[in-house]
A and B are shown apart, each in its own frame.
Chain A
């Protein structure tokens, strides 16, 4: 925007300072986490005792922790693929078809955005108990598919709405069946959004805790494992080191997703 071209607007030199002050406050707790991940103290308390990478080394020597991280990756992979496929289907339906129940489908697909997680969690808990399904990584993944669905749907939908349907009509006029048109025209058009939706769903699942706490069996995902370990003060530095690494990983994924979406 050409803000500099209009001199007669509200001049608030403090507003830039306000922005940086808030950025500082927002990053402070995260910075402190980072500091404790490379600090020699065995407990998370001041004063600091000097630099160490021991926690990062110990992280790779803690099998239970690595196992929990692997679980999180598997749950996130499975749920994000499913949520992206289902969300893309809904997006195609909403952008390319007129049918009765459109509004109902829209509402239903968006419902996980507003239903409190604790309510969704206990409702699923009741379902799994009624069906006699044991809690496991699969039950967590199912919950994550449901909550990621609005995001994947919206991301793919935004892309499809921006494209003219005439491309598909041309394809079908030229003799392609509709499934072939979906595969050869619609999917390539939606591809960047689909990748972006998949990464978003992955990150939604990866550090989701509120649902996982209810739906985890004996095998925890990383957030659930982390929560279970919070009672033991001496394991915290290792956990924080892990969390810092995962944070960097997630952040990279999100920035990649952002790049792809803006293409």
Chain B
């Protein structure tokens, strides 16, 4: 979109243009830029810079803004403790699994909406998205009702005589976190896939059929490869926010389902070790930004939104 706007302005060379003091819009420019710049600066950039500063402190004694002798102690601790790496690895792995399963599960839905739903596609899409629009906390809580000791799953299993005593292993562990997260993300994962499938020129299917491709071949050789950008986008759009997740593990994870975000949360609340918490936050932020850069290398979100 950047390119097209720039092009449009270039071809309109004669119109009142934006250069130097001659642009009549100059005053407005600063008026428009000022408030967002102040808000983003004060509440996004400055907090992150402060967090970086805190991570180089030995402890939190004294004023937060007072000068201090920087130390790498926190990072040494964050890197040395095998436990932290392990939790980061597990978080990444959990997020990877959740993203992969949510994407694969969502693909047939997107396929159905793109090619099979017909005139009602819009309605079916809204139906799919309604759960996503309902309160996150509430949906996670609903899963507690599903998996709890007196929950739905146990009640059904006991009711059908499959088990005699309720299973308590359903809730408060890693798999509860994974199941809940997959559930939360499936509708969201379908969206980029749908966008990717929507870009496919349907005549390609006819062409493949004319060349005697079987339906399966058409799918494997035409539809699937062309839809891959959407699939990859869906994967990363679930993967990236899930790495930093802390609410779902907090609610259904118990001690066994802890993720990296929960460590950070602990250091800022119960454990009250802000410098170490800040160091972990920076590590998490770096990992996340790294993932975003990788994702943007693989898929260009702007191309996905264009019609092919």
Q: Is the CB of B136 within 8 A of A26?
A: no
Q: Does B186 have its Cβ within 8 Å of any Cβ on chain A?
A: yes
The 16 listed contacts between A and B (C-beta, < 8 Å) are A8-B206, A10-B216, A15-B116, A23-B128, A27-B130, A29-B145, A45-B150, A46-B152, A97-B18, A99-B29, A109-B36, A114-B288, A118-B281, A214-B268, A250-B133, A250-B135
Q: Is the CB of A118 within 8 A of B244?
A: yes
A39 to B4: give the CA distance in the assembly, Å: 57
A262 to B19: give the CA distance in the assembly, Å: 36
Interface of B is mostly: helix
Chain B 1-31 interface residues, beta-carbon cutoff 8 Å to A? 1-2, 4-6, 8-9, 12, 15-16, 18, 24-25, 27-29, 31
Known: A9-B209, A172-B24. A127 touches B136 (CB 8 A): no
| Interface residues in chain B, defined as those with a beta carbon under 8 Å from any beta carbon in chain A | 1-2, 4-6, 8-9, 12, 15-16, 18, 24-25, 27-29, 31-33, 35-37, 39-40, 42-48, 50-51, 54, 64-65, 105, 108-109, 111-118, 121, 124, 126-128, 130-131, 133-139, 141-143, 145-146, 148, 150-152, 155, 183, 186-187, 202, 205-206, 209, 215-216, 218-219, 223, 240-241, 243-247, 251, 261, 264-265, 268-269, 274, 277-278, 281, 284-285, 288-289, 292
Q: Does A59 have its Cβ within 8 Å of any Cβ on chain B?
A: no
A145 to B114: give the CA distance in the assembly, Å: 35
Q: Return chain A residues, CB-CB under 8 Å to B117.
A: 3, 19
A118's contact among B115, B116, B128, B265, by CB below 8 Å, is which? B265
Q: Is the CB of B16 within 8 A of A169?
A: yes
- What range describes how many residues of A lie at the interface? 35 or more
A108 to B292: give the CA distance in the assembly, Å: 14
Q: Return chain B residues, CB-CB under 8 Å to A26.
A: 128, 131, 183, 186-187
Of A50-58, A82-90, A189-197, the one touching chain B: A82-90
Q: Return chain A residues, CB-CB under 8 Å to B289.
A: 114
Known: A116-B261, A146-B43, A251-B130. A178 touches B24 (CB 8 A): yes
Q: Return chain A residues, CB-CB under 8 Å to B142.
A: 29-30, 32-33
A230 to B268: give the CA distance in the assembly, Å: 22
Q: Return chain A residues, CB-CB under 8 Å to B37.
A: 105
Chain A 201-235 interface residues, beta-carbon cutoff 8 Å to B? 203, 207, 209-210, 213-214, 223, 226-227, 230
A172 to B109: give the CA distance in the assembly, Å: 49
| Interface residues in chain A, defined as those with a beta carbon under 8 Å from any beta carbon in chain B | 1, 3-4, 6, 8-12, 15-16, 18-19, 22-23, 25-30, 32-33, 36, 43-47, 82, 85-87, 89-90, 92-95, 97-99, 102-103, 105-106, 108-109, 111-112, 114-120, 122-127, 129-130, 142-143, 145-146, 149, 161, 165-166, 169, 172-173, 177-179, 182, 203, 207, 209-210, 213-214, 223, 226-227, 230, 240, 243, 246-247, 250-251, 254-255, 258
Known: A29-B143, A122-B281. A142 touches B131 (CB 8 A): no
